[in-house]
Structure 1
Amino acid sequence: MIIDSLHNAKKYYSLHPNFKKAFDYAEQNDLSKLEEGAFQITEGLKIIVIAGEGTPREESIKGFECHDQNIDIQISVKGPETFAWKPREKCTSPNGDYSDEKDVRFFHDAPDMFFQLQEKQFTILFPEDVHAAMIGEGLLKKVVFKVKI
């Protein structure tokens, strides 16, 4: 997991060929004006725009998840947004089977920690990062770049 501000995004370009494309897209577009929904940017890179009311921690961690085929770059557009996190290697209580179609695996485990993103901050969540998001109060908005491994 990585947590940083958008002005430092260039540090992470070398981690994956599509990271630069994702961060360039974020820099060249007014993220606050993007409509909710999902669309493909290029091969192996899609964006999902999510807006909604924040949820309490207890509710959000019911969706404690990780992905096998994608890396998430989640950027806070309107926040603050709190995330729950735990390393996958420490998760021992699966919540259902892995969905290949949705690339998601859920867990019943309790998070090890919570962290908060302010506007224009991001987190990069790798397959080993089990997470839950949209924790907060009021309206939250974010963009999630799905980067195919």
Structure 2
Amino acid sequence: MIIDSLQNATKYYALHPNFKKAFDYVNQNDLSKLEAGTFDIAAGLKLIVIIGEGSSREESIKGFECHDQNIDVQISIKGPETFAWKPREKCLNPNGDYSDERDVRFFHDAPDMFFELQEKQFAILFPEDVHAAMIGEGVIKKVVFKVKI
């Protein structure tokens, strides 16, 4: 997992070719004006705009998840937003089977930690990062880039 501010995004371009494309999209568009939805940006790069009410830690960790085929780049547009996190290697209690169609695997495990993103901060969550998001009060707006591995 990587947590940083958008002003430092160039440091991570070399980690995946689509990271630069994702952050270029951020720099070339006013994310505050995007409507909720899912958009194809480039081959292997999808954008999901999420606008919703924050939830409690207990409610959010019901969706404690990770992905096998995608890296999440989650960027806070209107927050703050709190995340739950635990390394996948320490998650021992699966919650159902892996969904290839949705690229998601859920767990019943308790998070090791919580962290908070402020506006214009991001988290890069790799397949080994089990996470739950949208923890907070009031309306949270964020974008999630799904970067195909």
TM-score by length of 2: 1.00
4+ aligned runs moved over 3 Å, structure 1: none
Question: How far did residue 9 of structure 1 move?
Answer: 0.1
- Provide the rounded CA distance (Å) in 1 between the counterparts of 2:28 and 2:86: 32
Does residue 80 of the first structure (1) align with residue 111 of the second (2)? no
Contiguous gaps of at least 5 residues in structure 2: none
Q: Which amino acid aligns with 1:148?
A: K
In structure 1, the residue matched to 2:119 is 119
TM-score by length of 1: 1.00
Identical positions, percent: 85
In structure 1, the residue matched to 2:54 is 54
Question: How far did residue 39 of structure 1 move?
Answer: 1.1
In structure 2, the residue matched to 1:68 is 68
Cα RMSD (Å) = 0.2
Partner SS state of residue 137, structure 1: coil
Q: Which amino acid aligns with 2:60?
A: S
The correspondence of residues 1-149 of structure 1 with structure 2, limited to 5 A, is 1-149=1-149
Question: How far did residue 76 of structure 1 move?
Answer: 0.1
Question: How far did residue 55 of structure 1 move?
Answer: 0.1
Contiguous gaps of at least 5 residues in structure 1: none
Partner SS state of residue 24, structure 2: helix
- Provide the rounded CA distance (Å) in 2 between the counterparts of 1:11 and 1:42: 21
